[in-house]
Structure 1
Amino acid sequence: MPVLIKNGTIVTACDTYKADVLIENEKIVEIGMDIKRDDCETIDASQKYLIPGGIDVHTHLNLHSGTVVAKDDFYTGTVAAACGGTTSIVDHMGFGPEGCSLKHQVDVYHGYADGNAVIDYGFHGVIQHINDNILSEMEYIVEGEGISSFKIYLTYDFKLSDEEVLKTLARLKELNGITTVHPENDGAIRYLKESYVKAGKLSPIYHALSRPVECEAEAINRMINLASLAGDAPLYIVHLSCSLGLDYIKLAVDRGQRVIAETCPQYLLLDEERYKEPFNNGLKYIMSPPLREKKNQEELWKGIRDGYIKVVATDHCPFDFGVEKQLGKGDFTKCPNGAPGIETRMPLMFSEGVSKKRISINKFVEVTSTNPAKIFGLYPNKGSIEAGFDADIVLIDPDKEVNLTKAMLHENVDYTPYEGMTLRGYPVLTMVRGKVIVKDNVFIGQKGYGKYMKRSKVFLENI
């Protein structure tokens, strides 16, 4: 049955206006004033904003990290995402066996997601090593699997050398793909960690001190220069946490280089004082890069306003505080990295960004939906409310006040980093391809409703 949403205020990255929206066969077919149809289900959106569904392009569902597994899988994680106003995700696949092909992990992740996800989903490729076979296989992954972005790491077990990074950047440029990177200086981190461990400095704050802003910023600058050497290959910096790294990104963008930055709500709203919380609560915030000094937050917000930071994602990677995080009790190096956030991103960015006037509501839509869609090959199907687009629509009540607690959330983890925050403005309805799957914070959708999204090639001129 067609659906007619009436009396709402539509918000896109460019415009804000009152209109009705008519939906048929999973698509937006008409936008206009006072649309009349007798054969429709009608939704009254009076006093509500209609925004394009959120697109989270940095999640880690079903992630296996050493001996532990992230608490959210593609069912529980996408239910939580939907309840928070996110209608699509692009998940960063975890590492596979040493020496495996690129397709190995694609097949593994289809096994995780297909028939389980409740919202639409895609994957970023993951590159663990570089040889002629991997470079050749990239073309099939881009063309055949519709995966036009690949992640590399400058730290952790499968970190790439500078030579391997350069080969990756050049190859993906040839294929109209984009390289996403976790930028941290592995050698410096290893030295600092070993120094703190030898000195018996093992509490959570030393996680932050062993991964200082210089480690992140140096790796960002190195990637920028390698991307330039690869003929201005497109480069995407994940989870930017600090103003020093942002300074390097500004220099590159201002000289015309194709560098895109993403940050996350935790770096905009939380700071490294959290690591000093009593009763080992600091373990909740062990993630990489770590939380930074508070002074970085306003610079990151300004980076969003000024257009240097184009995406806000989550890096959702949840482990129970009462179980997995306790592995770090007495030794921060043994605590699994990651924190939850897939459900809270949109409410936090609306309340802390729009309601508190740090950003406009149009900028909110731009960084949580439109830019992610354009950068990662989902536009023009996703990322805006326009005729012909998928009917991925979220209704936000700007006056709804919510006391954010773990008890009200759907993330399959035993804490939220944002416990007790009072939010103003909250999603009250989530629609994916014309079907309402969340209403008033209650999931009413179906397991497996989400579709795999084959993504198009990357054309950054459109950003």
Structure 2
Amino acid sequence: MTVMIRGGTVVNADRAFRADVLCEGDKIVAVGENLELPANATVIDAGGQYVMPGGIDTHTHMQLPFMGTVTADDFFTGTAAGLAGGTTTIMDFVIPNPQQSLLEAYHTWRGWAEKAAGDYTFHVAVTWWDESVHRDMGTLVQQHGVNSFKHFMAYKNAIMANDETLVKSFRRALELGAIPTVHAENGELVFQLQRELVAKGITGPQAHPLSRPPEVEAEAANRAITIAGVLGTPVYIVHVSCAEALEAITRARAHGQRVYGEALAGHLVIDDSVYRSEDLEYARAHVMSPPFRSHHHQEALWHGLQGGNLQTTATDHCTFCAEQKAAGKDDFTKIPNGCGGVEERMAVVWDAGVNTGRLTPSEFVRVTSTNAAQIFNMYPRKGLIAAGADADIVVWDPQASRTISAKTQFSKGGFNVFEGRTVRGVPTHTVAAGKVVFDKGQLRAEQGAGRHIDRPAFATVTR
């Protein structure tokens, strides 16, 4: 398929310029003014619009078995929803059960992902430790294109990694040229606070943020950063939600440590009042970890993105329907944790970031695509509009607007945490691997069209 995008303004992380973009097969083959139009090319008129690299969501959970149920979006519906919102690549998570082989779990997730409509790649969680985990990490990096490993410091008695596991896994990642990623919450503190709240009879969703205060996140972020600093490994902190965790990242970066941080679109615009709603179904629908925070923390996260101490935006897309969330109607600790957002992230970050002057269009590209591609070694294949890059492109109308609603979303789950929010700046077209998959509201996602993206190891340095 040949696609020509004419008359738009190309926006990369470093600059914006007027140019046509020509795609043949799954690659961009030319970027320049007044390109010759090949015969039989599909033409997209981008006049008055921006032409940007397809979004990369660094944090999703499609078809995830979690807390006794499975997320509503599988790899087809979830990636298709992403395409509708301008996200062309997701980074999902393989989460082995304790004592399960990392390779066995990885192959299970790869099988589930074969139905994906957009490109995908995996972080693999280290949930336990012995010599087989050490060996499997090597196999995953050297033979399967995995260069990041996830560590949950939360979820005691399930998938929580203790300090011994963190140290051994971080050291192994360094040897292999991989980067550790961390869910930073002190799992023991969360567990004890949950027990205390339930004992006091505080069992509704309003208890959820009380059991996971900012200090719980800050302690774990500081601990992970300290371990990484002692070992000399980089570290990536997922879903940073509070000022105190951001302060830990900022302080470490100021001292030259390679620490990266991720902000979720939801944490940037939704506050903790949602948990105090009298509509308990609505409140339960917002239960995720870390929880939504106060406006003070939202402003801190924006400052982190503006100042470069937070590099990426994601969603932690993990959808559950109302019936699934109702499992915790009598006990908030049993509410499946997770919210959606893969379809809305780009528009929400543009509206709340670019339209307010917090971000420039190039900075928007940086935090929605390019930085992720560079941190996880997919650049310049991803995150760039240039000859030789993948033809993953979003054509963006900065003046068009839409009101977000569960009634019109492509994602499953029946609820949208951004419900009723009107955003200005939306995709008119999405091109994935050279094919037009979203065209002015019409979704043309194809099951199985997505590709697994191998991510090579980073160069290792002998000290």
TM-score of Structure 1 vs Structure 2, range by shorter chain:
over 0.9
CA distance in 1, matches of 2:201, 2:459: 50
The residue aligned with 1:353 is 353
CA distance in 2, matches of 1:69, 1:94: 13
The residue aligned with 2:30 is 30
The residue aligned with 2:421 is 421
* Partner-residue secondary structure (3-state), 1:274: helix
Amino acid at match of 1:388: G
CA distance in 1, matches of 2:393, 2:65: 32
Amino acid at match of 1:52: P
CA distance in 1, matches of 2:437, 2:195: 48
2:412 is aligned with 1:433: no
The residue aligned with 1:392 is 392
Q: In the TM superposition, what whole-angstrom CA distance separates every residue of 1:103-128 from its partner, at most 9, and x where no partner exists?
A: 111110111011x1111111111111
The residue aligned with 1:326 is 326
* TM value normalised by structure 1: 0.97
Residue 265 of structure 1: how far off its partner (Å): 0.9
Residue 427 of structure 1: how far off its partner (Å): 0.6
CA distance in 2, matches of 1:182, 1:38: 48
Residue 440 of structure 1: how far off its partner (Å): 1.4
CA distance in 1, matches of 2:188, 2:433: 46
CA RMSD, aligned part only?
A: 1.3
Residue 38 of structure 1: how far off its partner (Å): 3.9
Kept in 2: contact 1:52–1:392 (CA 8 A):
yes
* Partner-residue secondary structure (3-state), 2:311: strand
The residue aligned with 1:268 is 268
Residue 42 of structure 1: how far off its partner (Å): 1.9
CA distance in 2, matches of 1:147, 1:243: 31
Residue 187 of structure 1: how far off its partner (Å): 1.4
CA distance in 2, matches of 1:336, 1:387: 44
Residue 148 of structure 1: how far off its partner (Å): 0.6
CA distance in 2, matches of 1:188, 1:42: 56
Off by >4 Å, runs of 4+ in structure 1:
none
Kept in 2: contact 1:375–1:460 (CA 8 A):
no
CA distance in 1, matches of 2:159, 2:445: 38
The residue aligned with 1:179 is 180
Q: In the TM superposition, what whole-angstrom CA distance separates every residue of 1:369-389 from its partner, at most 9, and x where no partner exists?
A: 001111112111111101110
CA distance in 1, matches of 2:310, 2:221: 14
CA distance in 2, matches of 1:120, 1:186: 33
Which range is displaced more, 398-407 or 32-41? 32-41
The residue aligned with 1:118 is 117
CA distance in 2, matches of 1:128, 1:384: 34
Kept in 1: contact 2:96–2:102 (CA 8 A):
no
Q: In the TM superposition, what whole-angstrom CA distance separates every residue of 1:116-164 from its partner, at most 9, and x where no partner exists?
A: 1111111111111111221122111001010110111112112122121
The residue aligned with 1:208 is 209
* Partner-residue secondary structure (3-state), 1:407: coil
CA distance in 2, matches of 1:436, 1:38: 17
Residue 43 of structure 1: how far off its partner (Å): 1.6
The residue aligned with 1:154 is 153
The residue aligned with 1:72 is 73
Residue 459 of structure 1: how far off its partner (Å): 5.9
Unaligned runs of 5+ in 1: none
Residue 2 of structure 1: how far off its partner (Å): 2.3
CA distance in 2, matches of 1:237, 1:227: 11
Q: In the TM superposition, what whole-angstrom CA distance separates every residue of 1:238-294 from its partner, at most 9, and x where no partner exists?
A: 000000111111110000001100010111101111101122021111101111111
The 5 A counterparts of 1:238-249 are 238-249=238-249
The 5 A counterparts of 1:238-387 are 238-280=238-280, 281-321=282-322, 323-387=323-387
CA distance in 2, matches of 1:460, 1:352: 39
The total of aligned residue pairs comes to 457
Amino acid at match of 1:196: L
CA distance in 2, matches of 1:445, 1:169: 38
The residue aligned with 2:143 is 144
The residue aligned with 1:82 is 83
Amino acid at match of 1:133: S
Kept in 2: contact 1:205–1:272 (CA 8 A):
no
How many percent of aligned residue pairs carry the same amino acid? 39
Residue 226 of structure 1: how far off its partner (Å): 0.4
Kept in 2: contact 1:375–1:458 (CA 8 A):
no
* TM value normalised by structure 2: 0.97
Q: In the TM superposition, what whole-angstrom CA distance separates every residue of 1:176-225 from its partner, at most 9, and x where no partner exists?
A: 10001111111111111111111101121210011100000000000011
Q: In the TM superposition, what whole-angstrom CA distance separates every residue of 1:411-436 from its partner, at most 9, and x where no partner exists?
A: 01111011111110111110012110
Distance 1:239 1:272, change over 3 A: same
Unaligned runs of 5+ in 2: none
* Partner-residue secondary structure (3-state), 2:171: helix
The residue aligned with 2:10 is 10
The residue aligned with 1:91 is 92
Residue 460 of structure 1: how far off its partner (Å): 11
Amino acid at match of 2:131: D
Amino acid at match of 1:81: G
Residue 25 of structure 1: how far off its partner (Å): 2.4
2:445 is aligned with 1:445: yes
* Partner-residue secondary structure (3-state), 1:220: helix
Kept in 1: contact 2:86–2:394 (CA 8 A):
yes
CA distance in 1, matches of 2:326, 2:445: 34
Q: In the TM superposition, what whole-angstrom CA distance separates every residue of 1:56-87 from its partner, at most 9, and x where no partner exists?
A: 11000010013211000001001100001000
